[in-house]
Chains A and B, each alone.
Chain A
Amino acid sequence: MFRNVESPSVTKTKLMKNTTLKYLLLLLFWGIATGEMMAQSAGSSGSKSMYALYAVGALLLTGIWMQVSDKFIGKKSAGGAQDGSTVALQQGHDIILKGAPAKKQLSVNVKTYAVRPSDFKGLAPIPKMEVEVGAEVKAGDALFHDKAMPDVKFVAPVSGEVIAINRGAKRAIAEVVILADKEQQYRSLTPPQLNACSRQELQDFLMDSGAWALIRQRPFQIVPAQGDVPRDIFISTFDTAPLAPDLNYVVEGRGEAFQKGLDVLARLTDGSVWLGLDGRGQSAPSAVFAQAKGVKKCSFKGKHPAGNVGVQIHHIRPIGSGEKVWTLNVQDVITIGALFTEARFNASRVVAVSGDECKENGYVTTCIGANIGDLMSGNLKGENVRVISGDILSGTTTNAAGFLSPFDDQLTAVEEGNDFEVFGWLAPSYARPAVSRTYLSNLVAPGKSFHVNTNTHGERRAFVVTGQYEAVLPMDILPQHLFKAILAGDIEQMEGLGILELSEEDVALCEFACTSKQPLQQMLQDGLEMMQEQV
């Protein structure tokens, strides 16, 4: 009911059906009222209104049947979007906030960078170090590798001196910190001939150059094991999260490397490389995306999380049991392409600086693992501010001592909401974004942008309200039942209900909307860990 891959006109009629049903309810009440009136005035022979009511009843019965039969009896499974088609998603919600990044470059001076093993899922907590404190490294030199996959190197994003190897709990390696050189030096690479080399050679080159580590494999969002071949590769070329960077802007001037990256990826899978294009219509996707060659494309139209790659995979070709797919961010593809076009590991990243607690919003050009304090220095308005690496729904809390995660292209500054509010549940003292329709300000001004804080606006409760998650998750998944299965530790049920198709970012909006303030992303992570232990 929530998806279709047909032409726009069909989309519209389906969109209308839900609203039509609601209006029919109104009509029915009206019918009862008039029937009542007529019956009074003309004894009990209000036959005309009776026939009208019969008609309305029959119409409604058809409506209910269409609604129910589709999901209850029909065996239609998700997926099946074709190359070049547009998928219209009905569920979702756009959270509009103040502090969107302006299309301008902010100047920053980043001194230290770090690579953190914990950013890469699926690694053992103590990787094998290949450098020591004090070593001089070039950008692209190996820093460490995981013992289970010794050929997959995790490399330095910049050249400089390794000034610290910090350890965390149980002596796990927390971060390898590099003090960057003023003049960057790169380890010189000799890429294989793309058209002539074997897949094995190509894989070996990617693993050795450090680019393999930037690939994430679903399920579980892990670094793919040595020599894995995915069913398909998926790349989302737009981001619908709150205050997200405009990837059309990010990719400007880097089209050649992006296309080269796609060519490389196409050699790594027997299936297809899929690009998810922005079909919302506010701005046309950049020519870099829309005219990319050698890939399949599918446009997605709808509110957040339409830009999440997990949602797109679900509608193109869902992950079945035992299947593996890869996902990459746009800038990771560019890094892979640059291995061939520039013959070096180019870890540069354009990162959006967003949130209205920043003095200036815009973009910075830096590298993977840049120090947050350097990136945000002098740009924060106040003290009581939380800096998030990533978007406000699924990013991680960080601070001046933290470092940019390799998979994040956004920093968000948001006010901490550690304050009480008098009768906040009844009469809110300030406007706040909400999926709920009980806030008048959100109803009268739908496009309004909000200042937000991190207050939970209520306490945690058991699951009470139903249908809430489904309304913001455009996938054929029953989130509430999935989460209950996770709480019960029922592995079989979890897999059946599609846990392997989800990652934390996909349920982030459900978590935002949750009336009971349940920690859904944490729960999903626990569930995925349980699943991983079973595999």
Chain B
Amino acid sequence: MKKALLKFFSSIEPDKKKSPFLHTLYDGFFTFALTPDHVTKSGAHIRDGMDLKRTMVFVVLAMQLCYLFGMYNTGHQHFSALGQYVGLWDGWHLKLVHGLIKLLPIIVVAHVVGLGIEFYYAYKKGHGIEEGFLVSGALIPLIMPPDLPLSILALSVAFAVIIGKEAFGGTGMNILNIALLSRVFVFFAYPGHISGDDVWISGIEKVDGAYVGEIYGWGHHLFDSIFKGVGWETFGAGGAAVIDGYTGATPMALAAKGGWEAVTKVYNPSDMFWGLIPGSVGETNKPFIIFGALMLIATGIASWRIMISMVLGLVFTGLLFNAWGATPFMEVPWYYHFSMGSFLFAMAYMATDPVTASSTNVGKWVYGFLIGVVGLIVRVLNPAYPEGWMLAILFMNVFAPLIDYVVVQGNIKRRVKPAAAKA
């Protein structure tokens, strides 16, 4: 297999001088398929098997369950709103296909735009294609609302990769988390598409002030013809009316208005824990996120220090708010904050990004703790933003170098001291 692959690659290798861009692309795919035959030249003669590709891929693997569930839940929420196939496994094929039809374009667009820019810059700067976007590209679809227009998505990804990363020098040099930067771009530039009650369930439109299901497109019809052949339920034409009492609001929006009671009127805690509620694509199912987090901790890829301290920050602030209790949202018991919203997702995959987090072990404790504190403050106290983790993490991304600076200065002081004492 190796010989065949090598032969294949050498047969398609483009000329480096004539078409440098193609050669950069070729090099990217070549090193993807075949680990290069580079040997150590100086220093340690042997090296750990770990490289950046493997690191990144393990993060992507850790979120696969979130992908699968996010896809299913997108469909499940759509049909629940219409009052069809209310049971979890009723019409499972339709839910899966609906999720796929919504999600696939997001994944494709995010990768084509992000990787395209990455390839271009690799060619421009004359270095190999770096792996940074593998994780960002996998995260972006999970943190967007399922109905986000693709043009907005493309714009946000381009903004994040160019301004957030390439402007600073590429993978490993960025100050802000790329995936969150693309989301925050949508958040501030197109607030109507990412906040409010209307956006979190896919395929529901507001027509003359009333919510109705969308008219299904060619994708749905294509699968309909297949399902019809097998004798399963089909999508039909679409455009059905939503059920009575449909709001489309997320638990967060409800809690801001009426506290925990208002939340439990619409969603039961078990559904919230297992993720059968509207939300961003990948953040609703808590057990799968916890599984991913544990996998990242077990393999040593993500920092357990950041995760623990972030949980502590949330618990600490949650207890403080419970004791204070000035608004209904403050009175929401602190432990329910874990199952509402995207805290766990932010903790497992966003805050632990090694490039943008604090780089010292001590700094990581402080960094995570403060994300927990700031995030919950934004979530509970700020009337305009229903969720705080994105802003809290970006905020602390900016402060991470400052935390590190203090830690580094502490280290320097410890060292200078004995000599100074002697002199």
Contact = CB atoms under 8 A, between A and B. Distances in A.
Q: Do A and B come from one complex?
A: yes
Interface of A: 21-22, 24-26, 28-29, 32-33, 35-36, 39-40, 44, 50, 53-54, 57, 60-61, 64, 67-68, 71-72, 75-79, 95, 318, 320-323, 386, 388, 392-395, 397, 412, 414, 416-426, 428, 432-439, 452-459, 461-467, 470, 476-478, 480-481, 493, 496-498, 504, 508-509, 511-517, 519-522
Contacts of A434: 48-50
B222 interface: no
B49 A394 contact: no
B415 interface: yes
Nearest to A75: B414
Contact of B39 (A455, A466, A513): A455
Contacts of B358: 466
Contacts of A513: 48, 50
Given A454-B39, A496-B412, A422 B55 contact: no
Nearest to B4: A422
B359 A32 contact: no
Contacts of A57: 312, 315-316, 319
Among A428, A436, A493, A521, max chain B CB count under 10 A is at: A436
Interface size class of B (residues with CB under 8 A): 35 or more
Nearest to B403: A72
Q: Interface SS of chain B: helix, strand, loop or mixed?
A: helix
Contacts of A321: 416, 419
A393 B42 contact: no
Given A457-B35, A461-B171, A64 B369 contact: yes
A32 B128 CA distance: 44
A417 B37 contact: yes
B415 A498 contact: yes
Given A44-B260, A68-B365, A321-B416, A462 B172 contact: yes
Interface of B: 1-2, 5-6, 31, 33-55, 57-58, 128, 130-132, 169-173, 260, 264, 268-270, 273, 287, 290, 294, 297-301, 303-305, 307-309, 311-312, 315-316, 319, 333, 335-336, 338-339, 354-355, 357-362, 364-366, 369, 404, 406-408, 410-419, 422
Nearest to A471: B300
Nearest to B51: A458
B52 A420 contact: no
Nearest to A513: B48
B53 A425 contact: yes
A520 B410 contact: no
Contacts of B50: 434-436, 438, 457-458, 513, 515
A463 B309 CA distance: 24
Contacts, number: 298
A393 B45 contact: yes
A421 B35 contact: yes
B309 A392 contact: no
Contacts of A21: 304, 308
B128 A519 contact: no
Given A71-B407, A459-B128, A77 B417 contact: yes
Contacts of A432: 48-49
Contact of B48 (A497, A504, A514, A519): A514
Given A436-B50, A438-B54, A466-B359, A418 B37 contact: yes
Contacts of B315: 53, 57, 60
B300 A386 contact: no
A480 B359 contact: yes
Contacts of B360: 466, 478, 481
Nearest to B272: A36
Contact of B354 (A318, A412, A465, A520): A465
